[in-house]
Chains A and B, each alone.
Chain A
Amino acid sequence: MTTAIERRALLQLLGLGIGGATLGLSWPAAAQQTDAVTIGWPSDVPSWDPNQRFTPEAQHLYKLVFDQPLDQDPKLALVPALIKTWDMAADGKSLKIELRDDIVFHDGTRMTTEDFRYTFFERIKAGHAVDTKNSWRSVSDIEISSPTQCVMKFASPAVTAPQWLAFMGSFVVPKKYMESIGVEKFREKPIGTGPYKLVDYQLNTRIVLERNEQYWGPKPMVKRVTIEIIKDPSARVAALQSGQIDLTINVPVREVARLEREPSLAGEINPITRVMLLQCRNDQGFTDQNIRLAAHHAIDKAALSKAFFNNAAVPLSVPVTPGTPGFPADYKFAYDPDKAKALLAKSGFDMGKPAKITFGSTNGQFPSDYDIARAIQQMWKKVGIDAELETIEYAKYFELNRGGKLPDAMLYSWDNATGDPEIFAGYLLNTKMPFSAFKDPAVGDKIAPLFGVTDYQARIQGYKDVVKFAVDYGATIPLLQSVQTVVRRKKLNYEKFGNGWVLANTMSWS
């Protein structure tokens, strides 16, 4: 038996929610304006204090509002910015600096050496919660001789101080302004000397910037920049396709090829100064050098690049990216499964009696990380290495490393926007630093002295030699150079930087 509810009434009831919600609504694609751009970005800034936290993805955004004392050109060479000239002393313990005299903060006040000293010395001494206190901990003083001239003094040689002045967290903040309103208020209403002023910020949602008409450098072509924080890659792609954004980064490689087929879009897969590698221990299952080297010879890096990065990720023999100063172009470490088997046989292992190691990987920290680890696990199996794979949160890496609890091999990604070899091999293999898992002094003793070499050419050559030694010693297993994907409207141009910076102040519409 059915109840006699009128069909019309029922249909009206059902349709009420859905029909009423969408009726009459339409969302036109954002009209393309030549003086505005909307970017879909995968993460927000941790705060608007640019010295506070070392977050690589946030550096692109900070560079729009703040300036670094030195800058890098698209090929990553150091170039003057706020600093006009710089001169490192022969002992590496003092850096003479001359600032430009035509720089003003967004509130119109002039930027001077007082601000420079405040940023790199006084804030740290005052105990502000800034990560720069670790990168600039060796600064013993900054002696000011004029509003544009000063000398940075270091307690120990700091030969890469110029590189660090263009690196993570090194943005000059206004002393008077910050002291007058306090750090908390500064985070809410930040000002810098950068090409854009912050006009609106909504946590985890949106950043709106307007061109700084008093900017000392090249005036940006785009007047208004909106950064939409869209963490999900699929949603970023959808936002681009629907016209809600004009450019985005870090979309899956296979999506780039698909999106490129759309007539209005262009996509790029750019190799950047980031390496994917296996951080190795020198004990437990990896005590034996033969096993470490066999593990390296067994990995077909070209196959990994083809399978996961459409051949765009360059296979690496050393933990340094091509085109950067410390890259030894003449060195190759071969993919040779037979050699791997021979090395294992020397130590008494074969397919029937495999060498057992532990293997860790992040899952979702960088594209296809866990899948790459599983592929490597299979490659090892074919030569006689049985790896027990486990997922390790990226946030736990340092904690595990400090406690000596990392697995024998750990799939890891290392970013170095400067391209300097100290921040590649120097940090990754220096046994005294928390990044290194390989604690054998045979490598550490060769790396540590390079931190004090002030002669640039000698330092670079030193790193070229030591990375070759480290790979031959089985201290590290470099895999691939990472890539950054960029998809944009075809008419939107931007400048490609070797370190993957995507900066709105270099963008223009054609």
Chain B
Amino acid sequence: MLATVLTLIGRRALLSFLILFIVSVLLFIVLRALPVDPAAMSLPPNATVAEIEAKRHEMGLDLSLPRQYLIWLSHAVSGDLGSSIQFRRGVLGLVASTLPATIELAVLAMLVASVLGLAGGLALFHVRGTAKEPALDLGTVVLLSLPEFLWALFFILVVGVALRWLPFTGRIDPDMRLPVTTGFLLIDSWIAGRPDIFRSAIEHLILPSLALGIAFSPAIMRVLRSSLLDVYQEDYIHLARLRGLGEKHILIRHALKNAILPTLSLMGVQFGFLFGGTLLVELIFSYPGLGNLMVDAVRNADLPIIQAVGLTYCIVVLSINTIVDSLYVILNPKLRLQ
């Protein structure tokens, strides 16, 4: 099994390089096609035309587009993604300092989406054919139709303002300090032996991850329900009943194992969307991640940051897809045989 998984990862890695290359070319072309002059943006508004021209030359913007791309690529492979127009700092450092926050948020949100989605899917399956089914169905439609930013505002107003149960700005309490080791607060706080900071980080993560997770859970619920319905039509379920196995046993040991596979595929796809969804949620919760950086970059037409964040999103989505496919191989013996 390990060999199969490693082969898959190897193939995926090769394919990922090709996809990354294509995405980087597309991003480069699209960003250069925008009617924004990075040279002028790098200088204050009262810069002279001569100063802008000098800057354009310095930035290599007077070269042909393929040449510009090759220069960018040669720098990128050596870890230099350029310098931010707004911050005048290396873009890689900015992305590296904000990415852990977004990963932390996305992973927790996915956990919320998975727990709610699986539990909701089971509940939907449980009430099928009963009077409760339409009500629960309607509930999933409502959940599906509310976007994550509305959930964010709802949680801020109810849990943050009215009940004052949880904080909703930043990553930890203002009076807390923690040296950066990995950038992941939940890990760094344990490394530093600071359970108070761990608790604070969790408290700050609850509302944004709930907002994101709830918005992405209904799709999981519905796919799990329909997969279970399909699986329950299979002969082996009837045979299990004939063998006298309990419904709980049949569900957990037989039906769920098979029904989970399409759900897992969906969760992989959902994670990609969810990662993109962090952008608005981070803005609303003042959460200092990649999304917040991207919003600033778009506002200031900071092309190097937009390009780097775009590539980062691409890498994350490709990585998640590889992980999900590997899990799929592990969980599905048929694929291992193929």
Q: Name A residues whose Cβ lies closer than 8 Å to a Cβ of B.
A: 1-6, 9-10, 13-14, 16-18, 21-22, 25-29, 38, 40, 44, 46-47, 52-54, 129, 131, 134-135, 184, 187, 200, 202-206, 208, 226, 228-232, 234-235, 238-239, 241-244, 393, 395-396, 398-400, 402, 427, 433-435
Contacts and interface: CB of A to CB of B under 8 A. Distances in A.
Nearest to B132: A2
Interface stretch (B22-30, B45-53, B263-271): B45-53
**Which residue, of A6, A16, A135, A434, has the highest number of chain B Cβ atoms within 10 A?**
A434
A27 B210 CA distance: 17
Contact of A46 (B43, B87, B160, B165): B87
B203 A235 contact: no
A115 B35 CA distance: 40
A232 B279 CA distance: 12
Interface in B245-268: 246-248, 250-251
Given A3-B125, A393-B36, A427-B46, 10 more contacts: A2-B130, A3-B250, A26-B165, A27-B166, A204-B286, A204-B288, A232-B284, A234-B153, A399-B35, A399-B36
Contacts of A433: 46
A331 B45 CA distance: 30
Interface stretch (B70-78, B168-176, B186-194): B168-176
B122 A5 contact: yes
B159 interface: yes
Contact of B283 (A18, A52, A232, A427): A232
Given A204-B288, A235-B169, A53 B129 contact: no
Interface string B222-261: 0000000000000000000000001110110000000000
Given A1-B129, A6-B248, A27-B164, A239 B169 contact: yes
Contacts of B156: 234-235, 238
Interface string B93-126: 0100110000000000000100110011011011
Contacts of A231: 283, 286, 292, 295
Contact of A235 (B35, B125, B286): B286
B65 interface: no
Contacts of A44: 296
Given A2-B130, A25-B203, A17 B112 contact: yes
Given A25-B203, A53-B86, A203-B98, A230 B44 contact: no
B124 to A, nearest CB: 11
Nearest to B251: A3
A139 B101 CA distance: 44
Contact of A226 (B49, B87, B174): B174
B88 A47 contact: yes
Given A4-B248, A244-B169, A135 B89 contact: no
B284 A395 contact: no
Contact of B159 (A4, A22, A395, A400): A22
Nearest to A17: B115
Interface string B124-163: 0111111000000000000000000000010011011100
A134 B47 contact: yes
A314 to B, nearest CB: 26
12 contacts: A3-B251, A10-B119, A18-B210, A38-B174, A46-B87, A53-B88, A184-B89, A205-B170, A232-B283, A234-B284, A396-B301, A399-B35
**Which residue, of B47, B120, B169, B284, has the highest number of chain A Cβ atoms within 10 A?**
B169
A208 B174 contact: yes
Contacts of B324: none
A205 B156 CA distance: 17
**Which residue, of A3, A29, A202, has the highest number of chain B Cβ atoms within 10 A?**
A3
A395 B169 contact: no
Nearest to A239: B169
B177 interface: yes
A204 B161 contact: no
B300 interface: yes
B206 interface: yes
Interface in B268-311: 283-286, 288, 292-293, 295-296, 299-301
B320 interface: no
A399 B130 contact: no
Given A2-B129, A3-B125, A204-B98, A235 B174 contact: no
Contacts of A10: 119, 122-123, 126
A234 B156 CA distance: 10
Interface string B38-73: 001101111101011000000000000000000000
A460 B153 CA distance: 49
Contact of B288 (A38, A40, A202, A235): A202
Contacts of B130: 2
B167 interface: yes
B196 interface: no
**Which residue, of B36, B46, B166, has the highest number of chain A Cβ atoms within 10 A?**
B46
B164 A26 contact: yes
B164 A243 contact: yes
A205 B167 contact: no
Contacts of B80: none
Interface of B: 35-37, 40-41, 43-47, 49, 51-52, 86-89, 94, 97-98, 112, 115-116, 119-120, 122-123, 125-130, 153, 156-157, 159-161, 164-171, 174, 177, 203, 206, 210, 246-248, 250-251, 283-286, 288, 292-293, 295-296, 299-301
A184 B286 CA distance: 26
A337 B41 CA distance: 40
A230 B288 CA distance: 10
B149 to A, nearest CB: 10
Contacts of B115: 16-17
A200 B179 CA distance: 11
A239 B45 contact: no
Given A22-B159, A134-B46, A3 B292 contact: no
A76 B50 CA distance: 34
Contacts of B122: 5, 10, 13
Contacts of A38: 174
B105 to A, nearest CB: 13
B210 A206 contact: no
Nearest to B176: A200
Contacts of A16: 115, 119
Nearest to A394: B299
B157 A395 contact: no
Contact of B210 (A21, A396, A402): A21
Contacts of B286: 204-205, 228-232, 235
A202 B97 CA distance: 10
A203 B84 CA distance: 14
A434 B159 contact: no
B241 to A, nearest CB: 10
A395 B203 contact: no
A4 B247 contact: yes
Contacts of B168: 235, 238-239, 242, 244
Given A3-B247, A46-B86, A402-B49, A27 B206 contact: no
Complex A-B, nearest 7 residue pairs according to Cβ-Cβ distance, in ascending order: A395-B301, A131-B44, A205-B288, A204-B288, A17-B115, A3-B247, A4-B247
